[in-house]
Amino acid sequence: MTAQVEETKTFNDLGLGEQMLAALSDVGYTHPTPIQREFIPIAVTGADCTGQAQTGTGKTAAFVIPILERINHRLPGVQALVLCPTRELSEQVAAEARRLAAQHDCNPVLLVGGRPIRRQLTELESNPTIVVGTPGRVIDHLQRGSLDLRGLKVLVLDEADRMLDIGFRPDIERILRRCPNERQTLLLSATMPPPVERLAKRYMQDPQRVDLSQANVAADRVEQFYCTVDPDRKLNLLVRLLLQERPTQAIVFCRTKRGADRLHQRLSKKLKGVDAIHGDLQQRVRDNVMRRFRSGKTRLLIATDVVGRGIDVTSISHIINYDVPEYSDDYVHRIGRTGRISSDKSGRAFTFITTEEGAELTRIEMRVNQLLSEYKVDGFDAYEPRAPRPHVDDEQPHETEEVAEFHVA
Ligand code: AMP
């Protein structure tokens, strides 16, 4: 994804130093992206700030630039620590910091698991000012005494929601306790579910908020519907909905990995071009699933929130929330997978709501600040009376001939 560049303001308007402007010009950044435009002026003052933005929006430079502006490049010792959920992301952050710090003698050290510790120990001896890493390996170095955070000025929690999803909360808290109280904390996250909010409340001082999640923008471009349905008839509804809507490509969101697997099993008996993706699958399998989806071979992708949220494929015409999302931020995220800025088509999103889930629907409507329209599938009774029908498997759709048409459309 390419970052969306704001045309009106330039980096000159953000009050940055000469060296920083020279470095930005060297890497070819002339105009700040929306998250940079909002986040940088707050962060360079030293204030705590949370930024809601996805990868691809220029969020890395949004916190790297303030770090480079705020640390004293003449003093040795770690002044900025960036915690990331994965090795790959840590590498990307370190690379961006290296590029933007070219005017300074500053070489960020990468502390990630799965890499030899010896080399990291040697690099730490060179007194780096910036350290980037994953929580586990950072703790390891703190315990060995090879990493000293007493002089820390800026702590960044990048992709905080993913770090918490992975279970890094205890590690993050241990690291936070080793940081000086007089520090600046910056938190970047694609979504702001309650666990991230709690982390911000506990460890940040009166943080200012910048919310430029792409999905919020996308939400206005997506037609949103809900379908009421008996839990036992969800699969039938899904099949009927697909026949009626005939999506170019669709993502069907489930709440759990098991739920996604079960739906995949059932649906692939009925339809071709169905795949599933979730966090329990090996990376290699996930890569293959994504390749098939991007190429259009897979028309229907069943996904969980953690994995589904990063999917950026322009031909997605429909999002189907087979299970209502646990947090309304996830809803915004899910529907943001369609109606992309880069595609001129607007998308359609459908949320299945059972009788017990009325309150969830209201929460979603409050979050997106609009009422969803009820959608009815022609001739489909969402609440077929469940009089004794011992020989009928309620989970299996009956319209096999029609179903076969779906992938020909
Ligand atoms: P990120 O969201 O940090 O992963 O950045 C996404 C991509 O946008 C990266 O390839 C950056 O190099 C690029 N980028 C970040 N800021 C700018 C900018 N102001 N102008 C042009 N490209 C940018």
* 225-264 tens-digit pLDDT: 999 999 999 999 999 999 999 999 999 999 999 999 999 9
Kindly report the protein residue whose alpha carbon is nearest to atom 11 of ligand 1. Answer: 58
Q: What's residue 405's pLDDT?
A: 43
Quick one: 206 and 329 in the same domain? no
Nearest CA to 57 among 101, 18, 1?
Answer: 1
Say if CB 362 and CB 327 are below 8 A apart: no
Residue written as token pair 């303001």: 9
Question: In the predicted model, what is the mean pLDDT of residues 164-186?
Answer: 95
Among residues 231, 228, 268, 233, which one has the least CA distance to residue 394? 233
41 and 158 in a common domain:
yes
Closest CA to 350 of 214, 244, 252: 252
Task: Say which range, 31-40, 257-266, 301-310, has the weakest mean pLDDT.
Answer: 301-310
Same domain membership, residue 349 and residue 302: yes
Residues in contact with ligand 1 by the CB-under-6-Å rule are 3, 5, 29, 31-33, 36, 55-61
CA distance 314 to 311: 10
Q: What is the reported pLDDT for 4?
A: 47
Nearest CA to ligand 1 atom 16: 58
Taking the alpha carbons of 68, 69, 72, 78 in that order, is the dihedral positive or negative?
A: negative
Could you tell me the residue range of the domain that residue 228 belongs to? 218-406
Alpha carbons 134 and 117: distance in angstroms, whole number: 13
Residue 382 lies in a domain: yes
Task: Give residue 157's pLDDT.
Answer: 98
Contacts 24+ apart (CB under 8 A), 281-288: none
Which of 60, 89, 210 best tests ligand 1's pocket when mutated (most atoms within 8 Å of CB)? 60
**Distance from the alpha carbon of residue 341 to the mean position of ligand 1, in angstroms:** 16
Atom of ligand 1 at shortest range from CA of 99: 12
Same domain, 183 and 39: yes
Distance 158 CA to ligand 1 centre (A): 15
**Phi-psi map region of 2: left, alpha, beta (phi>0 left; psi -120 to 50 alpha):** beta
Give the closest residue (by CA) to ligand 1 atom 20: 29
Does residue 160 contact residue 101 with C-beta atoms inside 8 Å?
Answer: no
Q: Per the domain annotation, does 113 fall within a domain?
A: yes
For residue 56, what pLDDT is reported? Answer: 67
**Ligand 1 centroid, distance to 68 Cα (angstroms):** 16
Of the three residues 215, 246, 278, the one that is the final residue of a domain is 215
Give the CATH number for residue 154: 3.40.50.300
How far away, in angstroms, is 29 Cα from ligand 1 center?
8
Domain C-terminal end among 168, 200, 215: 215
Q: What is the pLDDT of residues 289-305, one digit of tens each?
A: 989 998 999 999 999 98
Q: Are residues 199 and 248 in the same domain?
A: no
Question: Which of 14, 36, 96, 186 has most ligand 1 atoms within 8 Å of CB, for mutation?
Answer: 96
Distance 4 CA to ligand 1 centre (A): 8
Q: Is the pLDDT of residue 213 over 80?
A: no
246 and 203 inside one domain? no
Residue where a domain terminates, one of 158, 189, 215:
215
Predicted pLDDT at 217: 56
Q: What single-letter amino acid sits at 260?
A: A
Residue range 266-293: mean pLDDT, rounded: 90
